[in-house]
Amino acid sequence: MEEVPFVVLGAGMAGLGASYALDSAGVSFSCYDKNNYVGGHSRTLRYDNGFIFDEGGHISFTKNPHVQQVLAENVRGAFVENRLTIDNYWQGLRLPHPIQNNLRHLPPELIVQIISDYKTLDACGTASGNGAPAHQTYADWLHLAYGPTFAKTFPMAYGKKYHTTDMDNLTTDWIGPRMYRPTIQELVRSALPGTAPIPNYIDHFRYPSTGGFLSYLEPFESQFRIQLNKRLTQLDPVAKAIEFADGETISYGSVISSIPLPELISLMKGVPGDVLAASQRLAFSTVWLVNLGVGRADFSDAMVTYFYDEDVIFSRINLPHLFSSKNAPVGCGTIQAEIYFSEKYKPFASSPQNLIERTIEDLRRCGFLRADDRILLADAAMSRYANVIYDFDRMAALRVVHGYLRDAEVRCCGRFGNWDHAWTDQAFVSGEEAARAALGD
Ligand SMILES: Cc1cc2nc3c(=O)[nH]c(=O)nc-3n(C[C@H](O)[C@H](O)[C@H](O)COP(=O)(O)OP(=O)(O)OC[C@H]3O[C@@H](n4cnc5c(N)ncnc54)[C@H](O)[C@@H]3O)c2cc1C
């Protein structure tokens, strides 16, 4: 049996961050992933006919200089730097983002109602400035932050499509800078013509010039000892041994895991029943991505568009050819639609072909595609673990699972190891931190 001093499980952003830190420390380690590629959820699909799509529109908007430097070095400086253009689609209107800072594009009666609600909130002192008001559920937070009209029309409608459950079922500890709450003055000004928009919290981004997001990560494959096609089938924390699907068994000194917690726990030898049950209460969404390559590129100036209408199947689209022109053959364009499901709240009850057909139909109805557009590529790809759902089971279940893993000396990292909303840079840094902890730094 091979003895590996440091083992990293998963070769996505977090596993690569852990590998980076271990490599920098000069210790002996191996990183294992069940896939035949590095990058995990940050992978890129490169189709034979020249279209390139990431697994969800992956752009790097990190402000962390270290992560910026690592990624820039991996592509030898060959990245584009762009302003992120976002807009919204609602009932036939294209609205600048965020809507709460651009009310003037809404129907007059709706503007009046939104401002009236807001004025009442501020008068009651329940919500002022950008601080989080007193709240319990995300639905309460939205009502108190924006008033019932705006909350119901926009974030609650979008949230249902994205989180797959009612906003009453969600906590608020994930919001951070994601939801801008304007002051009443900003809100009223945004209803008047000619006022400057407030920038979104993600303003600029970097993206590899060629090859999609994965180009940032591929050099790691030869730099580190990464073993692909290695699916973990058992982790014995007492014997400090790991088994893989191909029959190989290794022993380890320290282990760092970015494998989604429900999967990891189900593979732990001797795991107590209450820990297993807690891991099964951790809710997550699954995304189906419909990738379309089209014979023209001028459907939209916005790289990302959010959709609020319930009868539009997708919640968001991104246009990868606007991230880098090399993501599509010359003269062609790309649209990627995100459609969310979850095992706990909204099980998948469709077929890939049906998702593709509905997506094309809805894009035509919303004016993004024309009936005579040449669809040169139509594919649907599934990513089982997309987003953590911050429901009311999460906190207690996570405490049990993480407590057990701490005692078992398994260090967790990444979006699905920490079970949070980490972006790529945060996942990478969490891997580095887990590795430093394993090194005793
Ligand atoms: C639709 C969408 C769009 C996004 N867009 C952005 C964006 O624009 N910018 C951004 O910064 N972030 C974005 N993110 C977030 C980003 O995807 C995550 O932060 C990041 O991919 C998390 O990396 P990770 O290493 O933690 O997890 P993962 O990439 O999921 O890595 C976990 C790894 O574990 C491996 N694994 C699982 N089970 C086993 C097993 N039994 N044996 C061996 N290996 C196993 C998996 O194969 C995988 O490679 C987006 C997310 C979604 C869902």
- Each domain of the chain, given as residue ranges in start order, spans 2-39+217-282+393-439, 45-90+200-209+284-391, 98-190
User: What is the per-residue pLDDT across 224-278, written as a single tens digit (0 to 9) for each?
Assistant: 999 999 999 999 999 999 999 999 999 999 999 999 999 999 999 999 999 999 9
Closest of 343, 394, 385, 387 to residue 173, by C-alpha: 394
Index of the ligand 1 atom closest to the CA of residue 425: 11
Amino acid 178: pLDDT? 77
Nearest C-alpha to atom 22 of ligand 1 is from which residue?
415
pTM of the model: 0.95
Amino acid 175: pLDDT? 83
CA 257 to ligand 1 center in whole angstroms: 13
Mean pLDDT score of the chain: 94
pLDDT at 124 over 70: no
Mutate to test the pocket of ligand 1, among 53, 58, 306, 432 (most ligand atoms within 8 A of CB): 58
Amino acid 128: pLDDT? 43
* b/e burial code for range 68-96 (CB count within 10 A of at least 16 → b): eebbbebbeeebeeeebbbbbbbeeeebb
Same fold, 2-39+217-282+393-439 and 45-90+200-209+284-391: no
Pocket of ligand 1 (CB under 6 A): 9-15, 32-35, 40-42, 56-59, 231-232, 258-259, 263, 287, 338, 385-387, 414-416, 422-425, 427
Index of the ligand 1 atom closest to the CA of residue 267: 41
Q: Rounded distance, CA 366 to CA 356, Å?
A: 15
Yes or no: say if 356 and 290 are a contact pair by the CB < 8 Å rule.
yes
Amino acid 213: pLDDT? 98
CA 41 to ligand 1 center in whole angstroms: 3
Domain 2-39+217-282+393-439 has CATH 3.50.50.60: yes
pLDDT at 200 over 70: no
Yes or no: say if 377 and 47 are a contact pair by the CB < 8 Å rule.
yes
Closest of 313, 317, 315, 309 to residue 359, by C-alpha: 313
Residue 233: its H or E element: strand 232-236
CA 176 to ligand 1 center in whole angstroms: 20
Q: What percent of the chain has pLDDT over 90?
A: 88
Residues with Cβ within 8 Å of 346's Cβ and at least 6 positions away in sequence, in order, are 164, 165, 340
User: What is the per-residue pLDDT across 336-392, written as a single tens digit (0 to 9) for each?
Assistant: 999 999 999 999 999 999 999 999 999 999 999 999 999 999 999 999 999 999 999
pLDDT at 183 over 90: no
Q: Using the structure block, give the residue that is written with the tokens 């932050």.
A: 145
Index of the ligand 1 atom closest to the CA of residue 415: 26
Mean pLDDT of 192-215: 86
Closest of 218, 196, 191 to residue 115, by C-alpha: 191
Yes or no: say if 402 and 417 are a contact pair by the CB < 8 Å rule.
no
CA 136 to ligand 1 center in whole angstroms: 29
CA 264 to ligand 1 center in whole angstroms: 15
Q: Rounded distance, CA 124 to CA 122, Å?
A: 5
CA 228 to ligand 1 center in whole angstroms: 16
Amino acid 208: pLDDT? 98
pLDDT at 432 over 90: yes
Length of the chain: 441
Residue 39 binned pLDDT confidence (cut-offs 50, 70, 90): very high
Q: Which fold has domain 45-90+200-209+284-391?
A: Polyamine Oxidase; Chain A, domain 2 (3.90.660)
CA 37 to ligand 1 center in whole angstroms: 13
User: What is the per-residue pLDDT across 290-330, written as a single tens digit (0 to 9) for each?
Assistant: 999 999 999 999 999 999 999 999 999 999 999 999 999 99
